[in-house]
Every structure is written in C-alpha cells, then in structure tokens.
Amino acid sequence: MSITSQTDLVNIRKASEAVALTLRQMRDYARPGMTTKELDDYGAARLQSYGARSAPYLTYGFPGHTCISVNHDVAHGIPSNKVVLAEGDLVNIDVSAELNGYWADNGGSFVLGRDLHQRSALVDASKKILHKAIHNIRGGVRIADIGRLIETEARKAGYTVLRNLVGHGIGRALHEAPHEIPCYYDRHNHERFRKNSVVAVETFISTRATMAYQKNNDGWTLTTRDKSFVAQHEHTIVITDGAPIILTEANQVWDNL
C-alpha cells in the first residue's frame, strides 16, 4: 500500500506495533520443554490483547496463529504439541496480523537458551544484513540491488541465501505489490521501491542451502533437504526519500547489534 494520509500512517503503526510486541513477547516467553503449540497459544492471546487477528489464519486458513519453525525447518512451521523446544534450538517465529483493516508482518530467529550448537553467528549475520539492506532502501532504489546487497553480504560472512522465499508489499492485505523482494540479485527484476509504500523486507541466511522445500505432506512447513540451518529476520517499513520508517522496531531484533 501507499501511505496517503496521516490516518494510514497511524493505523499501520498500530498494526505493526501489535505484531512486533507479540514477536518480542513470544521470544521472551519461549522455554526449553515448551511445545510450539503452547508458544503459539501465548502468541494468539497477545495478538488478541492488542485487538489484532492472525494474518495467516485469516488469509490462508493456516492451522495456527503464528508460524514457528525449529532447526532445519525454515518457514511456515505449524505449531504442534509434538514439537518440544530444547536448549540450543534455532527457533524462528513469524508474526503477521490484521488490525482495523491494516496488515503488518515481522519475524525473527533466535537461539533458545545457551548456544550449544554455535548458531548465534548465523542469527547475528541475518540481523546485521537486514539492518544494512533496509537502511539502503529509499524511493527509486532498484529492488534487485537490495537483493544483490543481501546476497553479497551473506557470501562475505560465509553463508548463502534462500532464493525461493521473498519479502513483499503489505498494508491493506498480507501480500501486495511488489510481490517479490528477494534475497539475491535478479537481473530480470526492474522494479524500484516507491516512496511512501509499505513493504516487509526479510533475510533468509543459510549455512549452505539455497532453496527451501515442502516438508512431508503437511502442506505448509518448508525445510532444507541438506539439513542446513537458516536464520530469518523481517521488518515492515515505510519507504521515504531518506531513512525508512521501521514500523516493527518494537520487536527489538536489532538490540545489541
């Protein structure tokens, strides 16, 4: 969507704050021994407390209120009573929601408890690359150039990027134009970021894999076939002529960078 009034900005800020606070609170609430269903139930209650409604549940009939993916799973993980979180797990939570007709999206990966398996460097790389990418976005910048920046920074850090999961426009629906903001350089993509538009920009930084694949037959969960690990971080922003407005900054994923 394009911000055309103060009302638009106020309302998209409210929706973004709801998802950002929910993500932060879920991250703080997560404990070893907890199931991902328990964590999702908590997230659902937090969204409800802000008057927001789960976007994947509303839009796609997703069997949960948030997406929670653990270790080799990358995205769209279904909350389950069978998945029990353990110390050192790489956990990704993606929270998107609708509030008063406005939609916002954010996500973040983190190591649960002690970093038993040395995944913190991957998580930190994803955060830092997203920060650099977003702060290079302004009206008129080519989307492909931001993809190239993300891919180049990942390679410098010794990682790869996923090529089949992308950021997107957002605002009046969960997914809007531009429909693809990839983590790699696509020379065929000639679109440019537009001033005053709202987009969800995300990184998918991998230890090895370049693609995510459907897991089993659940219809949702995406995973790596080679047992790679992937860290994802995502912010909803408003594009300006200068520094972007980070609508989901309350999730605090950039704290302590």
- Which residues fall within 8 angstroms of residue 39, CB to CB, at 6 or more apart? 26, 29, 30, 66, 68, 79, 85, 93
- How far is residue 39's CA from residue 31's CA, in Å, rounded to a whole number? 9
CB 229, CB 115: distance < 8 Å = no
Q: Establish whether 94 is an annotated binding residue.
A: yes
202 is in an annotated binding site: yes
40 is in an annotated binding site: no
Q: How far apart are CA 15 and CA 78, in angstroms?
A: 23
Residue 241 labelled as part of a binding site = no
How far, in Å, CA of 83 to CA of 36, rounded?
Answer: 6
CA distance 119 to 174: 30
- Which are the contacts of 46, defined by CB distance < 8 A and separation ≥ 6? 21, 22, 25, 26
Copy the structure tokens of residue 46.
Answer: 């937090």
Helix (H, G, I), strand (E, B) or coil at 111: strand
Q: Please check whether residue 12 is in contact with residue 238, taking contact to mean a CB–CB distance below 8 angstroms.
A: yes
CA distance 216 to 223: 10
Q: Write out the binding residues for a divalent metal cation.
A: 94, 105, 168, 202, 234
Q: Write out the binding residues.
A: 76, 94, 105, 168, 175, 202, 234
Q: Write out the binding residues for substrate.
A: 76, 175
